[in-house]
Amino acid sequence: MRKLYILFTFLIAGITAIVAQPTLTQANFVHTIGESTFYYLADTNTTTLNPALGANVIFDYTTVDALGISQTDFYVDPASTAGAADFPTADYCEKTNLGDTNFIYSKSNVDSLFTVGFIADIVGFGVVTAKYDADPETVMKFPFNYGDFYTDNYSGTFDVNYSGIPVSTNGEGNVTVAADAWGRLDLPFATSFDSVVRIRRVEHAVTDTIFIPFPFNLEILPITIDAIVVSYYKPSHGKSPILSFIEGTYQQDGAVIASNKTIACQYPLLATDVKEYELSNSLNLYPNPTQNGQSELIFNIENTANAKVELLNNLGQTISTIYQGQANSGVNKFEINTSSLSSGVYFVNVLIDNAKITRKLIVE
């Protein structure tokens, strides 16, 4: 009996070792140059953040719908980017295949990972370069386990080119990071991961007033940047989160001037059926970026079907309905007029019966 008891004890210990709280370290969290991660983007209109918190919980995302587009994150040598001179201390730079104007520059130590700045194309302001390598933002501390949290303050300069005149102002911010849950992550198509930790990061930053010199002699009110990022990590699976919810806004004088919401998952999501696959292969959006405020949507379908074409902003909200009615069998063409829109990222949503495809559209 004693031997059976000891054996049972070892079996329980073995199970505990397999399904256990994960720990984030420099080795399993920090990327190296040359790595990349592929993501499927989810429909932010139909997907909400699972509220499960605590230990050994279940994160149920089995019904997440696909947006119809994907994204690849690349980790590159900072020296290969246009902003290399502004971030001499960075170890690597993160960018995506969805654009060539947004970059995040990072530096790592054994016990922490820092963001030393970023370059972002903000609607209405153009390309903004934020540099805080002298007082960087701590985006992760190592080791980091469930129940750990910290708050960090950072500061630096924000540079922008205003009508050919370089302008700089100071800014400061704070970030709070917490490992507030761990457990099992369930995704569509019976994909499941145990020992997953949920990391919640909340950021807030404010610039000083921006002064535009002669001949403009303008004052631009402070810009407030807010972001919430909730990510699910399994260290033994890889350095990137399996699933992330990212939401950010730029505000000025109490009004939102730019915003974005993204849900990214490394594994396939729902609503990718045969009809959607066929529609995706035949659909073309050109020119993209737009030219002279115009772009043309073309797709080919086998049979007459109910169709709806919508133009969405970067929050997934409908700006206008381009077409709603019957689409004929064969080639269908629709003109998209963007002349009244601000430059930035938009989406064209195409629904053919039960099939839905979304394409990114850059308005210049």
Does 337 lie in the same domain as 242? no
Does residue 234 fall inside a structural domain?
yes
CB atoms inside a 10 Å sphere around CB 49? 14
pLDDT of residue 315 exceeding 90:
no
Helix (H, G, I), strand (E, B) or coil at 28: helix
323: its two tokens: 């077409």
From the list 66, 56, 65, the residue with the least C-alpha distance to 19 is: 56
Does 166 lie in the same domain as 63? yes
Does 248 lie in the same domain as 338? no
- Domain boundary among the residues 240, 265, 290 is at 265
Does 213 lie in the same domain as 158? yes
Does 108 lie in the same domain as 208? yes
Does residue 53 fall inside a structural domain?
yes
Does residue 2 fall inside a structural domain?
no
- How confident is residue 9, by pLDDT bands cut at 50, 70 and 90? very low
Alpha-carbon distance 168 to 209, whole Å? 10
DSSP label at residue 268: -
Does 306 lie in the same domain as 212? no
Helix (H) / strand (E) element for 327: namely strand 318-327
Residue 323: CATH number of its domain: 2.60.40.2550
**Cα separations (Å) of 231 from 59, 106, 195, 277, 354?**
11, 18, 14, 29, 31
Does residue 12 fall inside a structural domain?
no
Does 279 lie in the same domain as 247? no
- How confident is residue 7, by pLDDT bands cut at 50, 70 and 90? very low
Does 46 lie in the same domain as 115? yes
- For 196-251, the pLDDT digits (tens) are 999 999 999 999 998 888 888 888 899 999 999 999 999 999 999 999 999 999 88
**Cα separations (Å) of 325 from 51, 187, 275, 330, 351?**
39, 35, 18, 15, 11
Does residue 209 fall inside a structural domain?
yes
- Domain boundary among the residues 265, 298, 324 is at 265
Does 162 lie in the same domain as 236? yes
pLDDT of 325 reads: 94
Does 207 lie in the same domain as 94? yes
- Domain boundary among the residues 222, 247, 265 is at 265
Does residue 43 fall inside a structural domain?
yes
From the list 286, 262, 288, 285, the residue with the least C-alpha distance to 357 is: 285
Average pLDDT, the chain: 87
The string over 244-278, giving b where at least 16 C-beta atoms fall within 10 Å of a residue's C-beta and e elsewhere, is: bbbbbbbbbeeeebbbbbbbbbbbebbbbeebbeb
- For 74-127, the pLDDT digits (tens) are 999 999 998 899 999 999 999 987 767 789 999 999 999 999 999 988 766 778
Does 219 lie in the same domain as 80? yes
Query: Residues 149-159: what's their mean pLDDT?
Result: 97
306: its two tokens: 């109910």
Task: Provide the whole-model pTM.
Answer: 0.72
Does 231 lie in the same domain as 94? yes
Total domains present in the chain:
2
Domain hosting 111: range is 19-265
Does residue 299 fall inside a structural domain?
yes
Does residue 6 fall inside a structural domain?
no
